Amino acid sequence: MTKKVISKDELLANIIKGIEEVKGNDIDILDLREIENTVCDYFVICNGNSNTQVNAIVSSVQKTVSKELKDKPWHVEGNDNGEWVLMDYVDIVVHVFQKHVREFYNIEGLWGDARITTIQNKY
**Per residue in 61-82, pLDDT tens?**
999 999 999 999 999 999 999 9
Distance CA 82, CA 115 (A): 27
pLDDT at 2 over 80: no
Are 11 and 30 contacting, i.e. CB atoms less than 8 angstroms apart?
no
Are 105 and 47 contacting, i.e. CB atoms less than 8 angstroms apart?
no
Asked if residue 89 belongs to a domain, the reply is yes
The per-residue pLDDT of the chain, averaged, comes to: 93
Asked if residue 3 belongs to a domain, the reply is no
Asked if residue 18 belongs to a domain, the reply is yes
Q: Which residues contact 84 (CB under 8 A, 6 or more apart)?
A: 54, 78, 95, 96, 97, 98, 101, 102, 105
Band of pLDDT at residue 49, cut at 50, 70 and 90:
very high
| Average pLDDT of the segment spanning 103-121 | 93
Asked if residue 1 belongs to a domain, the reply is no
At residue 75, the pLDDT reads: 95
| Average pLDDT of the segment spanning 47-69 | 96
Three-class secondary structure of residue 30 per DSSP: strand
Give percent of the chain above pLDDT 70: 95
**Count of structural domains within the chain:** 1
Buried b (16+ CB within 10 A) or exposed e, 19-49: bbebebbebbbbebeeeeebeebbbbbbbbe
pTM equals: 0.93
Asked if residue 22 belongs to a domain, the reply is yes
Q: Return the CATH number at 31.
A: 3.30.460.10
Radius of gyration over every alpha carbon of the chain, rounded to an integer in angstroms = 14
Render pLDDT for 3-30 as a digit per residue (tens, 0 to 9).
567 799 999 999 999 999 999 999 999 9
